[in-house]
A and B are shown apart, each in its own frame.
Chain A
């Protein structure tokens, strides 16, 4: 019963947070001067050489058609009612199609890439952490520490730029700026060739994400494991004459893993942000470049919807992590309930 109540309270808090996010994301795009029709006018003026005065009547027609002539509050209300009643996030002005369609193409890729990178980063970081702990102060430890720190210290966009430079200008790679070569884009079914082509496009984004993501896990795993290894029960195990390998694999690692697993919620958030950053530099068609271009085009429903969805994913991710923690660790559950009563 206590857990259910805890869950209900967290869910209610999340709902309030989401409403807040929806207002903020709508307000952010409104705060920037100019709307989509202003951008339309600028482009048209540049393309046709016409003055803005001449274009103004057309702009008014377009504003009315797009609903931009309404007060902001009305626009927000229509938007939010559309979302709640019909899952309709509005239309993208730039693409002339529903926002859900525009985002629907890109969001799953962002999530899939972020999730894959996160799992691999946890796995690789965890393994390297174990290796580093087992070889404390030896060469392997030093090297993995350096690699980890570089992963943490060098911004992801810098690594992306370096890789882009090599791909484009040194190797003249045809695998840039997309997730698939044109010939495979036209194929609706997957094949081994198509998969191989996809891997040739996707590796830079995964490499950078994993490199930046594994470092934290590595350091955490190494520290945890070294702490655990000093515990009394490990001493006991040793005294019982268990092999070093068995002590580490069966007794130490599972316990050292505990905090790493608990941390997954926040790592997912980190990976999404990372994927967005890398994709912008590499021009990969995921959510990242879409955010950038939509802000530039003042395509407000797309921007607001992305903010909302990404924030929602992060909030829900954290909620799930909290719940997991509560389920696994009675102390957390107890503390949360006491705090709430």
Chain B
């Protein structure tokens, strides 16, 4: 589906919705279909349509590598590739098999901390990590996979795996013959080093925590390409997703061992963390591109990895693109430059800028196109359900009692005119009502399980009256029956988020109509402010596409989360019945081996969440990926972030640029030299 079509479709849907909302007050507990965004659909594939592992009749490579082979600087491509490389299938490529050459330009706000990702260092985000790290399995491209085949991650360095009968043992098989970018073989010694000397070493702040695969999990190397995890209790397929970016990505044992305190008595753990400093290029990697220049604070240049272990179906060694740039500026500059055409890739997820952004991208000479994908941004009000944590006085205590009553939450929901809130954020057909739970576009979102409490001020007032919260002193604000205090709720908002602030302003006015006074408490970063549970109500953007991702932000699966329902100082908390039911459903998803059963459990969560107004959704909006028109195979509909961020979802190794549109390479003819 082209982006233009999609935009007009959205506009059309919103046009209808504006008419429909006038006559929809009779709809009490279902969101009108045209308002729900559930009509946006994308072409999906089977898992096996994405890639496979097989030997091909012959291989070809970027022409300049051919020259290096002839000059004796590189072994022939057949010797650099595994016996059975990972083969990207043509049917999953929207523009088909590509041509070699050209440059892919990123602009990011991050800066590489160093190249030792095993010790938890980041490479600046914005796609550098994903260009150099390859992981045991992969999640990003799962957005292209049909819902009925969503069960665990996609294979990557681990080409296959088997579970024992009792689901406590997992045997994984690596692709045989993969080589690091310096030509050194990749094998289970790299896996062992990753697991034993990093994940399990308490002095290393690795990305996969020690208990990240369950406490007591052990790893055993069987042979050069086979290893086995043993779990202390049965597991479901979802646990494997933890081995995708950025947690299950091995580092080069042969390059790092000498810097690790276990093998080098003179080294400290602090030194080990910084064993591959950002300025020391090239690092040894398994990814499609290798950093070869780091101009601190200004630019990182990556060149193709001649040992990359993936090909297309015609036997062309990937990636297609020779050179990758990461210009180091600011995050806001990323979108500006993408729209201007001086960067090739960015996401557009600030609805306040959509009108101008689309105006820019829709003009005929615009260098960039906006792909709206199934990633939906959504905002929600969260009420604090803890009876003790953050409770300052008897008024707080009484407030929390009401927060824990379903009718109170439903009344607040009825008091919100979501169409008006949406228009306060972005004029035009961009914002839709949202009632909470899974995001639209998520494979786990289910329209029929979603309950909606639309704008109905009379009903809101009646429900609050029925709860005994009436305006007894005649000042226009309801009084709470116990303390007699005005019904004032402090709402924490992030001062830097313009979209949140605009909604907060609208919500203050709407709740005032229902006799509820909202007092704003501005903070710098809401996640930092909320983590101690010291708030009564807050508004923030928070999506939930996958039950197993960032679950702690959503469900009380551990004692330390979510922020809105933390235990008191005695360590206990009183979960509401439907919360317990949701956690049960979540555990079913975790342990289930039946995709249908897992999907049903997700529906249960969705129904319980929205019916009980667990969080009070406000509005939602689609997000777009901005991609330069030169770039081919950037599949329409690629989400900005769903199973993983777009850099992984779009599968950059299969992107290409037609010869006549390729930009000049800064370091033509070169590769990383060690």
**B524 A32 Cβ-Cβ under 8 A:** yes
| Residues from 136 to 179 in A contacting B, C-beta threshold 8 Å | 164, 167-169, 172-174, 176-178
| B558 and A96 form a contact (CB under 8 A) | no
Hey, what's the 0/1 contact readout for B500-542 against A, CB within 8 Å counting as 1?
0000000000000000000000011101110100000000000
* Residues in B whose Cβ lies below 8 Å from that of A90: none
Known: A33-B528, A45-B550, A178-B329. A61 touches B203 (CB 8 A): yes
| Residues of the A chain whose Cβ atoms lie less than 8 Å from the Cβ of B242 | 48
Residues of B within 8 A of A182 (CB): 299, 301, 325, 327, 666
Docked complex Cα distance between A46 and B540 (Å): 14
- Does A42 count as interface, using CB distance less than 8 angstroms? yes
A172 and B367 contact, Cβ closer than 8 Å, known pairs A50-B212, A186-B293: yes
Tell me the complex Cα distance, A50–B125, Å.
17
Q: Are B339 and A169 in contact (CB under 8 A)?
A: yes
- Tell me which residues across on chain B come within 8 A of A49, comparing CB atoms: 546, 548-551
B524 touches A33 (CB 8 A): yes
Chain B residues closer than 8 Å to A283, beta-carbon distance: 329-330, 332-333, 336
CA–CA, A97 and B340, complex, Å: 33
User: Do the beta carbons of B270 and A65 come within 8 Å of each other?
Assistant: yes
CB contact between B296 and one of A94, A105, A168, A177 (< 8 Å): that residue = A105
- If the complex has contacts A58-B209, A62-B120, are A34 and B113 also in contact, measured as CB distance less than 8 A? no
A57 B210 Cβ-Cβ under 8 A: yes
Whether A185 sits at the interface, judged by CB under 8 Å, is: yes
Q: Is B341 located at the chain interface by the 8 A CB criterion?
A: yes
Q: Which residues of B contact A164 (CB under 8 A)?
A: 336
Most buried by A among B269, B529, B550: B550
* Inter-chain contact total with CB atoms closer than 8 Å: 156
**Nearest B residue to A45, CB-CB:** B550
Q: Please, how many angstroms separate the alpha-carbon atoms of A102 and B549 in the complex? A: 35
**In whole angstroms, how far apart are the Cα atoms of A101 and B527 in the complex?**
31
Complex-state Cα separation, A97 to B548, whole angstroms: 36
Q: Contact partner of B298 among A62, A96, A178, A293, CB < 8 A?
A: A178
Interface of A, secondary structure class, is: helix
Q: How far is the CA of A335 from the CA of B293 in the complex (A)?
A: 58
Q: Does B206 contact A (CB under 8 A)?
A: yes
Query: Which of these, A53, A101, A293, contacts B552 with CB under 8 Å?
Result: A53
User: Is A266 on the interface with B (CB-CB < 8 A)?
Assistant: no
A55 at the interface (CB under 8 A from B): yes
**Shortest CB distance B148–A (Å):** 23
- Which of A32, A49, A185, A285: most chain B CB closer than 10 A? A49
Residue in A44, A50, A185 whose CB lies within 8 Å of B299? A185
Roughly how many angstroms separate A94 CA and B124 CA in the complex, as a whole number? 9
- Given A52-B531, A57-B209, A186-B293, also A168-B561 (CB < 8 A): no
Residues of B within 8 A of A176 (CB): 333, 336-337, 340, 342
Q: Check B246 against A289 for contact (C-beta < 8 Å).
A: no
Roughly how many angstroms separate A22 CA and B348 CA in the complex, as a whole number?
40
Residue count of chain A within 8 Å CB distance of chain B? 54
- Measured between beta carbons, the chain A residues less than 8 angstroms from B367 are 172
| Contact residues of A between 4 and 41, Cβ < 8 Å to B | 32-34, 38-39
Is A251's CB within 8 Å of the partner chain B?
Answer: no
Question: From residue A29, how far is it (CB to closest CB) to chain B in Å?
Answer: 12
B122–A186 CB distance below 8 A: no
B332 surroundings in chain A (CB, below 8 A): 283
Closest to A37 in B: B205
Q: Are B109 and A293 in contact (CB under 8 A)?
A: yes
Does B114 lie at the interface of the complex (its beta carbon under 8 Å from any beta carbon of A)?
Answer: yes
Interface-lining segment among B272-280, B468-476, B650-658: B272-280
C-alpha spacing A174/B560, complex, angstroms: 48
- Expressed in whole angstroms, the Cα–Cα distance for A101 and B111 within the complex equals 14
**How far, in whole Å, are A314 and B296 apart by their CA atoms in the complex?**
27
CB neighbours of A58 from chain B (8 A)? 120, 205-206, 209
Q: Does B58 contact A (CB under 8 A)?
A: no
Q: Mark B182-225, 1 if CB is under 8 A from A, else 0.
A: 00000000000000000000111111111110000000000000
Q: A58-B206, A95-B111, A289-B329 are in contact. Are A53 and B560 (CB under 8 A)?
A: yes
Give the distance to chain B from A233, nearest Cβ to Cβ, in Å: 55
What is the CB-to-nearest-CB distance from A243 to chain B, in angstroms, rounded to a whole number?
Answer: 54
- Cβ of B327 and Cβ of A177 under 8 Å apart? yes
Q: How far is the CA of A101 from the CA of B279 in the complex (A)?
A: 12
Q: Which residues of B contact A186 (CB under 8 A)?
A: 293, 295, 301, 666-667
A294 to chain B, nearest CB (A): 11
Task: Decide: A177 near B111, CB < 8 A? Known: A47-B246, A58-B120, A185-B299.
Answer: no
Q: Establish whether residues B111 and A33, one from each chain, have CB atoms under 8 Å apart when the complex forms.
A: no
- Cross-chain contact A285 with B525 (CB below 8 angstroms): no
Measured CB to CB, the residues of A under 8 A from B are: 32-34, 38-39, 42-59, 61-62, 65, 94-97, 101-102, 105-106, 164, 167-169, 172-174, 176-178, 180, 182-183, 185-186, 283, 285, 289, 292-293
B residues lining the A interface (CB < 8 Å): 107, 109, 111, 113-114, 120-122, 125, 202-212, 242, 246-247, 269-270, 273-274, 277-278, 293, 295-299, 301, 325, 327-330, 332-333, 336-337, 339-342, 360, 367, 523-525, 527-529, 531, 546, 548-552, 557-561, 666-667
Q: Taking A96-B121, A177-B107, A177-B342 as given, write out 11 further A-B residue pairs in contact, using a Cβ cutoff of 8 Å, ordered by the A residue number.
A: A34-B525, A44-B207, A48-B247, A49-B546, A52-B561, A53-B558, A65-B270, A94-B113, A97-B278, A186-B293, A293-B109
CB-based closest 3 A-B pairs: A51-B552, A53-B560, A168-B340
6 interchain pairs, CB-CB under 8 A: A34-B528, A62-B120, A96-B278, A172-B341, A172-B342, A185-B299
